[in-house]
C-alpha cells in the first residue's frame, strides 16, 4: 500500500528534526585590519569556474528500465531509520518534487526509441538567460543551458507519466486546461539530452526593451546600440548535454562596462534551434543586484504541502504570490540600473516554465537553475551556494540583495554565510516567513546563522507590503515596524510546539523583549524530535488501519 502524503510529511518532519544540528553562527568580518588601516579593496572580477564538469566520461550502455516504476519508487521511498536514508525527493529541508527525473538513455529505453528514430528528431537548445561581466579584456558572457531532443510522446504515455508526478491526483480528474499543463510539463521532463556535441553558432544582436511582458523600461533597460555578432562556444556539451562557459565578445559598438551604470541587453539566438532564444544582461562592475528565489516568494508553490505543491507545480497555472510583481516593478522603475538575477534550484528540464512566468510578471533578468550533474539530494543542497558564490565572484564590486523564504534550509544556511564570506557585498537579506503565513508549513527553520549579523542587514517579513517604502537604493533593509523575534535557533516548530504568538518571527504581535525562547541545545532538539517522531508514528499507524 502506498504511504499517504500526510504520513510522509510527518515522517520527514520527524527525521529533519532529529538529524538537524545548529549551524555555526558566522563570525563578524572586521571592517579594518589589525593596525586599524582600511580593509583591502575588493578583488578584480573573475571568470568563475563552470558548475558543470567537462571531464570526458565514457558512454556506458544502460539496460532497459521502466521509468514509471523507478520514479514511483523514488517518490514513495520512506525512512528506514531515524536520521538516515532520506527520500531523494526531500531537499532543502522540504519535499522537493523536482528530484530524480529520468534523463538521456533512461528516457530512450522507457519510450522504446531506436537509434534511427532518435536521430530523426530535431535538436533543441535550452538557452538560459545569461549575465555578462566587464574585465580588462572586455565583456564576457556566461552562456549556459542544455542541448536535447524532444521525443514524440503519445498523449496516453504522457498521461501515465503525469500521473506519477501528480502523486495522489489522477490527471483525468483535472480540468482540461490543467491536464494540458501537466502533459506539457511532463513532455519537458521526457527529453533526451545530447552529450558531447557542439552547440550551434550563437547570434547576438541588441535587445530593444526590457521588463515584464516585454514592456520597455525597468531593470536597467538601456538603448543598446551595438554587439551584433556570431560566436561559437569553446566546449562541447557534457555527458548530460549541459554547456556553461564564459565567452569574450567583441564590443562592436557596445559601451564599455567601466563607462556606464546602465545594463545593456543582447538577444541571443542559437542557430537551427527553434526555441533556443534568450537575453544576455551586460552588467557593469558597480551597482545593485537582486538575487531572488522564485518558489513561494515570487509564485505560489507550497512545496511544504506535498499534494498542493505537486498540483501547483505540474498542473495549475503559475500564480504570483500576493502583490510581489508590483513591488519588483516599482524597484525596476525607481532604481533603473538595478540588475535582477533569478536563482532557483529547480532542475533544467522545467526551467522554461519558470522563465516564461518571470517574463510575464516580473522585470527581465538573468537566470540560474540546477545543472543536471547536480542531481541528488546532497548536490541539490550545495548548488545554491555554488551559484551564489559564482555571481558574487563575478561582480566583486556590486552590492547584493538576497530574497527567498524560510522553507529552504540551504537559504537559511547560505544567505547569512554570504555576509561573512563576501564582506561588504551583501546589502540586504529579506526572507518571507512561510510558517507564519501558511498553516500548512510545518517545517522548522533555523535562524542561528543570523546571530552575529547586524539587524540593519536583514528582515523576516510576512507580506510584500512589509518591504514597501524602504529606501532600497540607499541601503535601507529593515522596516522597524515589523518585529523580528529571532531566537537564533529552530523556529516554526511543528505539532504546536512553541506556539506562543510572540515567538512568531516577523509578527507584529511581539517584541525582542517578550519573544519566546526557541530550541538552543542539542538536548532540547532531541526532545522535540522524540515528540515529533511519536506523532509521526501515530499518524503513519492510523494510515494503515
Residues 6 or more apart whose CB falls under 8 angstroms from that of 293 comprise 343, 344, 403, 404, 405, 408, 411
pLDDT exceeds 50 at position 83:
no
The position carrying cell 514513495 is 76
- Indicate the range of 42-51, 118-127, 404-413 predicted with least confidence: 42-51
What pLDDT shows up at residue 224? Answer: 85
Q: What is the pLDDT of residues 336-356, one digit of tens each?
A: 889 999 999 888 888 899 999
pLDDT exceeds 50 at position 254:
yes
pLDDT exceeds 70 at position 240:
yes
Q: Which of 48-57, 221-230, 360-369 has the highest mean pLDDT?
A: 360-369
**Strand pairing category for 445-446 and 426-432:** unpaired
Q: Is 506 among the domain residues?
A: no
What are the CA-CA distances from residue 223 to residues 36, 248, 356 (Å)? Answer: 45, 21, 23
Biggest CA pair distance of the chain: 72
Q: Which one has a higher pLDDT value, 237 or 443?
A: 237
Mean pLDDT over 389-418 rounds to 96
Q: What is the pLDDT of residues 491-519, one digit of tens each?
A: 887 555 554 544 567 754 333 333 322 33
What pLDDT shows up at residue 378? Answer: 58
What pLDDT shows up at residue 210? Answer: 55
What pLDDT shows up at residue 118? Answer: 86
Residue 212: pLDDT band (50, 70, 90) is very low
Closest CA to 15 of 89, 83, 88: 83
Q: Is 81 among the domain residues?
A: no
Asked whether the beta carbons of 266 and 224 are under 8 A apart, the reply is yes
Q: Is 49 among the domain residues?
A: no
Q: Which of 20-29, 243-252, 491-500 has the highest mean pLDDT?
A: 243-252
What pLDDT shows up at residue 377? Answer: 59
What are the CA-CA distances from residue 490 to residues 22, 381, 412, 444 (Å)? Answer: 8, 19, 11, 6
Residue 246: pLDDT band (50, 70, 90) is very high
What pLDDT shows up at residue 227? Answer: 96
Residue 399 burial class via C-beta count within 10 angstroms: exposed 0-12, middle 13-18, buried 19 and up: middle
Domain span at residue 465 reads 87-151+190-491
Q: What is the pLDDT of residues 475-486, one digit of tens each?
A: 999 999 999 999
Cβ neighbours, 10 Å, residue 465: 13
Residue 442: pLDDT band (50, 70, 90) is confident
Q: What is the pLDDT of residues 273-323, one digit of tens each?
A: 877 789 999 999 999 999 999 999 999 999 888 889 889 999 999 999 999
Residues 6 or more apart whose CB falls under 8 angstroms from that of 228 comprise 204, 205, 206, 252, 253
- For residue 207, the cross-strand partners are none
Cβ neighbours, 10 Å, residue 348: 25
pLDDT exceeds 70 at position 421:
yes
pLDDT exceeds 50 at position 433:
yes
Helix (H) or strand (E) holding 350: none
Buried b (16+ CB within 10 A) or exposed e, 87-101: bbbbbbbbbbbbbbb
Asked whether the beta carbons of 11 and 18 are under 8 A apart, the reply is no
pLDDT-above-70 percentage for the chain: 68
What are the CA-CA distances from residue 1 to residues 76, 94, 236 (Å)? Answer: 10, 23, 46
- Rounded CA gap, 269 and 230, in Å? 9
What pLDDT shows up at residue 113? Answer: 81
Q: Is 182 among the domain residues?
A: no
As a whole number, the mean pLDDT across the chain is 77
Grid coordinates standing for 228?
Answer: 551584433
Q: Give the number of domains in the chain.
A: 1
Residue 315 burial class via C-beta count within 10 angstroms: exposed 0-12, middle 13-18, buried 19 and up: buried
pLDDT exceeds 50 at position 525:
no
Q: Is 140 among the domain residues?
A: yes
Closest CA to 86 of 136, 138, 18: 18
Mean pLDDT over 141-169 rounds to 92
Closest CA to 433 of 386, 372, 487: 487
Q: Is 537 among the domain residues?
A: no
Residue 10: pLDDT band (50, 70, 90) is very low
- Rounded CA gap, 488 and 168, in Å? 37
What pLDDT shows up at residue 138? Answer: 97
Amino acid at each position: 500500500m502506498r504511504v499517504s502524503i500526510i504520513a510522509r510529511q510527518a515522517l520527514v518532519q520527524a527525521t529533519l528534526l532529529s538529524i538537524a544540528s545548529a549551524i555555526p553562527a558566522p563570525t563578524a568580518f572586521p571592517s579594518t585590519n589589525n593596525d586599524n588601516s582600511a580593509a583591502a579593496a575588493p578583488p578584480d572580477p573573475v571568470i568563475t569556474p563552470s558548475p558543470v564538469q567537462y571531464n570526458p566520461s565514457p558512454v556506458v550502455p544502460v539496460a532497459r528500465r521502466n521509468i514509471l516504476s523507478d520514479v514511483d519508487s523514488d517518490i514513495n521511498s520512506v525512512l528506514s531509520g531515524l536520521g538516515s536514508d532520506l527520500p531523494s525527493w526531500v531537499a532543502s529541508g522540504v519535499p522537493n518534487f523536482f528530484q530524480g527525473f529520468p534523463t538521456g538513455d533512461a528516457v530512450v529505453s522507457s519510450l522504446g526509441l531506436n537509434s534511427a528514430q532518435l536521430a530523426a528528431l530535431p535538436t533543441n537548445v535550452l538557452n538560459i538567460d545569461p549575465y555578462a561581466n566587464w574585465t580588462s579584456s572586455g565583456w564576457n558572457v556566461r552562456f549556459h543551458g542544455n542541448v536535447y531532443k524532444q521525443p514524440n510522446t503519445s498523449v496516453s504515455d504522457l498521461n501515465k507519466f503525469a500521473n506519477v508526478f501528480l502523486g495522489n491526483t489522477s490527471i483525468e480528474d483535472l480540468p482540461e486546461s490543467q491536464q494540458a499543463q501537466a502533459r506539457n510539463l511532463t513532455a519537458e521532463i521526457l527529453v533526451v539530452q545530447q552529450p558531447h556535441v557542439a552547440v550551434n553558432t550563437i547570434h547576438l544582436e541588441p535587445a530593444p526593451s526590457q521588463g515584464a511582458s516585454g514592456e520597455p523600461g525597468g531593470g536597467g533597460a538601456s538603448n543598446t546600440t551595438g554587439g551584433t555578432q556570431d560566436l561559437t562556444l569553446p566546449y562541447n556539451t557534457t555527458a548530460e548535454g549541459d554547456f556553461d562557459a564564459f565567452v569574450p565578445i567583441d564590443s562592436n559598438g557596445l559601451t564599455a562596462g567601466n563607462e556606464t551604470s546602465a545594463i545593456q541587453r543582447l538577444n541571443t539566438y542559437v542557430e537551427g534551434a527553434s526555441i533556443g532564444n534568450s537575453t544576455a544582461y551586460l552588467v557593469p562592475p558597480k551597482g545593485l543586484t537582486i538575487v531572488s528565489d522564485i518558489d513561494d516568494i515570487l509564485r505560489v508553490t507550497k512545496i511544504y504541502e506535498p499534494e498542493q505543491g505537486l498540483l501547483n507545480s505540474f498542473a495549475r497555472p503559475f500564480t504570483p504570490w500576493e502583490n510581489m510583481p508590483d513591488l519588483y516593478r516599482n524597484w525596476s522603475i525607481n532604481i533603473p540600473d538595478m540588475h535582477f538575477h533569478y536563482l532557483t534550484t529547480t532542475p533544467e528540464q522545467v526551467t522554461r516554465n519558470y522563465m516564461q512566468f518571470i517574463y510575464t510578471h516580473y522585470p527581465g533578468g538573468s537566470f540560474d537553475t540546477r545543472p543536471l550533474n547536480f542531481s541528488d539530494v546532497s548536490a541539490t543542497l550545495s548548488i545554491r551556494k555554488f551559484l551564489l558564490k559564482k555571481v558574487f565572484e563575478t561582480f566583486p564590486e556590486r552590492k547584493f540583495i538576497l530574497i527567498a523564504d524560510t522553507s529552504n534550509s540551504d537559504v537559511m544556511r547560505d544567505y547569512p554565510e554570504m555576509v561573512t564570506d563576501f564582506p561588504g557585498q551583501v546589502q540586504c537579506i529579506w526572507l518571507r516567513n512561510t510558517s507564519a503565513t501558511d498553516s500548512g508549513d510545518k517545517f522548522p527553520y533555523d535562524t542561528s546563522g543570523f546571530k552575529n549579523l547586524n539587524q540593519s542587514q536583514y528582515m523576516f517579513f510576512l507580506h510584500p507590503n512589509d518591504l514597501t517604502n524602504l529606501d532600497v537604493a540607499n541601503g535601507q533593509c529593515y522596516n522597524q515596524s515589523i518585529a523580528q523575534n529571532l531566537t537564533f535557533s529552530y523556529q516554526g516548530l511543528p505539532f504546536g510546539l512553541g506556539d506562543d504568538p510572540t515567538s512568531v518571527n516577523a509578527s507584529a504581535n511581539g517584541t525582542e523583549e517578550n519573544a519566546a525562547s526557541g530550541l538552543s541545545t542539542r538536548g532540547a532538539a532531541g526532545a522535540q524530535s522524540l515528540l515529533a517522531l511519536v506523532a509521526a508514528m501515530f499518524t503513519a499507524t492510523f494510515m494503515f488501519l
